[in-house]
Chains A and B, each alone.
Chain A
Amino acid sequence: MNNFIVFFFSSLFLQIFSSIFLIVFRNNKKASQVFHFILLIGLVSGLTSVLSSILSETPILFPTDFPIPLEYFRFDSLAFYFLFLIQLAGIPITIFSYSYFNHEIKEKKSVKSTLFFYAGLLVFTQLVVVVNQAVVFLVFWELMSLFAYLGMIFEKEKKEVEIGSFYYFVMSHVVVFALAFFFFLLHRHTGSWFLSDFHMNSDSDTLVPFLYLLSIIGFGMKAGFIPFHFWLPKAHPIAPTVFSAFLSAVIIKTGIYGLLRTFQFARPVSEWMGWIVLFIGIISAVFGIWYAIVQKDIKKILAYSSVENIGIIGIGIGLGLIGSACQSFPIQVIGFGGALLHTLNHSLFKSLLFMGSGILYHNFHTRDINQMGGAIHRKTYFAVFFLIGSLAITGIPFLNGFISEFLIYNGFFQAAKELKNHYPLMMLLSAVALAFAGGLAVACFTKIYSIVFLGSQRTEIKKFYFSFFDAFSLGILALLMLVIGVYPIPLIQFVSQVLGDGFVKGNPLPILSNLNWLSISLIFFALLAVFVILFLLKKIIYKKYGQRTAPAWGCGYEKQTPRMQYTASSFSDELSEIPDSVLGYQKIEKSSNFPYSDKSFSTHSSDFVEEKLLRPLFKKIQAFSLRFQFFKTSDLRTYLLAILLMVIFYSLAGFLWDS
């Protein structure tokens, strides 16, 4: 496919060009229609070009007379993989965005600028993963974060939006600072600004750990590993759902992209770095989902569950690093392969779940799941799609989440088998931690699903909105998850192609395809057959022996009301109480013997990192800076002088450093 470059850049151009129509059309609704249509065409053509380029074996030719400086871009397999991921998640989110913003248009809100930010976010995220020059990378990275921030403050009149978006804003700048340092170090070492030239020489032993540290801080903070996860549960809930879906499905994956690139830059790695990444991954997986269980805000639950899944990806990367340090080809392949697969899988199910939360928000006008309930009786399709998403994210067999977790478990087994000594013990403990996180995930997602969808409605709503576009976007994702779960081989081939190009030397395909994917598909069909037979049997038996509906059993009590149902907090009560010092779980009860006095009961939880680490840290910083208050004047010139002195200091320092 020689004209891939032309095709790809024109699709990007089309995507950004779509925002012109926001100005052309006065009418909000019409503008949104045309905008989304053009944006979708841009995305689909981008996906087509990427797919056809992946499938055809011919190398990409760079046209000579092209208006864009092409040496700044690189299209290797990793870039393609992430492009594929962005577009695959981007298409359903864009379709959903149309119906989501229709609600806002109905409420007479101005959506044009937010739609423009969405298009910008899409384009710059795609550019970030293909760019090959460090400074341009940082610029695009910053623009991506900025567009996400601008989209996030859609409801800027609300206090929580102000706070949450500020968390995100500060976080993205800490990240950029770390990344700038990271790339400058790489530049100093290699003398080049190009990502493809970043390789370590033999004398770089001291540099590599430092690079990993910066990468874990920078990219890891974007990805949301514990303890850098604090911004996720603040920023995701307040953003418009389109943005929170995109943030969780795609933007945090750019952090994973960066970590994987770091591995390509900085080799050889030492083993302890792998262990550190593995450890951070395990902590994120277990505590991410544990925090999720305690929450009541559906988007907060999903945000914390992203922390869990990022942790699982981290476990894969850690395994890969350990494999690389121990020079074991299979461990590397399975570890990195599991991480890559889970990255794609997570972006599929998390965008589905977030979009579902947006639909729920528009119907119930709240994000508190304790106010919802009974949604399954309103829209069955919606309930089915959300069920598939919840099953997939918990790693239940025959959906895509299981495939990547299966791969990571196999990585543990492989590492234990090959490396002997103390490795079996460590790997077993890691596997147990992953299984534990899996059990917690079952508790978490059965909780969301049963409180939101099952039982009877806790608040009355007249009409349940679930448009065709909602159904379509959720349906595509649910279908994709099922297909990957039952027949993962094409995706496995893609992953091994990525691994073969710049990760490992040799052909990773035999190792990955040696695992029994076919048995899993066969068992699925066998079970499906058993299920269908049972289903028919059930029909026959119902016909023969009768079947009817009756009121639910209430132990003799007849006046059951929806308020008496189990709530989110009561469902998760036992699990919330076990580590209450970490979760900051509190029950606050006001009671009195007199009727009609104020009685109340509520539960609260707080984030350990935020309460115990960040708050004291920032208090200290504040106290420290207050010491310099004597410097405070009302004269602007004093400040200008201070800035000048600082610039002189920096230049001198830079000059002395270089000479």
Chain B
Amino acid sequence: MGFIMILVLSPLFSGIVNKQKNFFTGRIGAPVLQPYYELFKLFKKETLHAKTASFISRITPLVHFTAILSAAAVLPVGFSAPLISFEGDIILFAYLLSLSRFFQILAAMDIGSSFEGMGASREASFAVFVEPIFFFTLGSIAFITGLTSISSIYDSIVLNNISYLVFIFVCSISFFILAVTECSRMPVDDPNTHLELTMIHEVMILDNSGFDLFLYHYSSSIKLFIFVILETSFFGSLGGGNRVLEIGIFILIVFFLSTALAFVETVTARFKMKNIPQYLLFATAIGVLNLLIFTFTQ
């Protein structure tokens, strides 16, 4: 149920963010359903492959999509249990994301174009900081409680405990930074510029089109939604078993997150590439706070 929702609703979230962004900048903007139209359009287009491309860039869209899909399958969506859940799936989750990254970097380098090489190099360098942040957030609860499955980690969170509230606050910042980095959002990456030199993810898929590009776009909107889910699932227990209330809270938080994302994207400019590692290290550093909170409040 939750898994199907991730599949269906993830483009909608990007649509909402874009609409809000347009609102903040005083424009009317594309309709909320625009990402669906775009995906549909890409689906029907002819696929081009570069002459220098090998089988790597042909299978990568599939591998990337499959890996992201399976990473989404281990997540609990606020009010419903995950599709797959077992002890240790937190490690699998982190490593599935790194599988998708591995192939994406290869596919970018496959063409031999220096633009895509630039994106691949940046992705490889910044991704180094991503997994530590992940371990400092959800991982820190795993280390405190000994639970190693993502859904049981979320179940163990009690909202009336002050240290958990601080934890959620710190995690939210970390997840925000992670989402921004992983899904090519504003302070880190700007996919809307017309200069390939300044992009990260978008420049890696320059030579993709048609169905391949459809898979890339679809999986990146799922990836963004994964981070939204990671955040909303903290408040899964607020509904207290009441389905309608749970869904209501879920929608509220999703809307809040999209507003936050749109707001930050409107008011900030993209960082210098050199400053991005510092930005990520900041997320790592506040992640350390999490564990200190638990170590000293126990």
Contacts and interface: CB of A to CB of B under 8 A. Distances in A.
A431 B139 CA distance: 9
Contacts, number: 250
Given A545-B44, A548-B46, A531 B109 contact: no
A396 B103 CA distance: 11
Nearest to A551: B51
B88 A422 contact: no
Given A442-B102, A456-B112, A550 B49 contact: yes
A383 interface: yes
A547 B298 CA distance: 60
Contacts of B298: 420
Interface stretch (A74-82, A117-125, A177-185, A407-415): A407-415
Contacts of A405: 91, 95
A562 B43 CA distance: 32
Interface in A426-458: 427-428, 431-432, 435-436, 438-440, 442-443, 445-447, 449-451, 453-456
Interface string B77-102: 00000001011110110111011011
Interface string A557-576: 00010101110001111110
Contacts of A549: 48-51, 53
B86 A545 contact: no
A527 interface: yes
B106 A450 contact: yes
Contact of B109 (A454, A523, A578): A454
A361 B94 CA distance: 35
A571 B120 contact: yes
Given A439-B130, A550-B48, A410 B95 contact: no
B50 to A, nearest CB: 4
Contacts of B196: 555
B88 A531 contact: no
Contacts of A546: 46-47
Which of A377, A409, A416, A550 has the most chain B CB within a 10 Å cutoff?
A409
A640 to B, nearest CB: 60
Interface string B144-184: 11101000000000000000000000000000000000000
Which of A391, A420, A565 has the most chain B CB within a 10 Å cutoff?
A565
B88 A516 contact: yes
A450 B105 contact: yes
Given A440-B128, A552-B50, A566 B45 contact: no
Contacts of B140: 424, 428
A397 interface: yes
A535 B51 contact: no
A432 B136 contact: yes
B142 interface: yes
Nearest to B105: A446
Contacts of B120: 446, 450, 566, 571
Interface stretch (B13-21, B58-66, B232-240, B245-253): B58-66
Interface in B259-298: 273, 277, 291-292, 294-295, 298
A418 B143 CA distance: 10
A424 B96 contact: no
Contact of B146 (A417, A454, A530, A547): A417
A377 B55 CA distance: 9
12 contacts: A376-B54, A395-B95, A413-B146, A427-B143, A428-B136, A438-B131, A439-B129, A455-B52, A545-B45, A551-B51, A552-B51, A553-B207
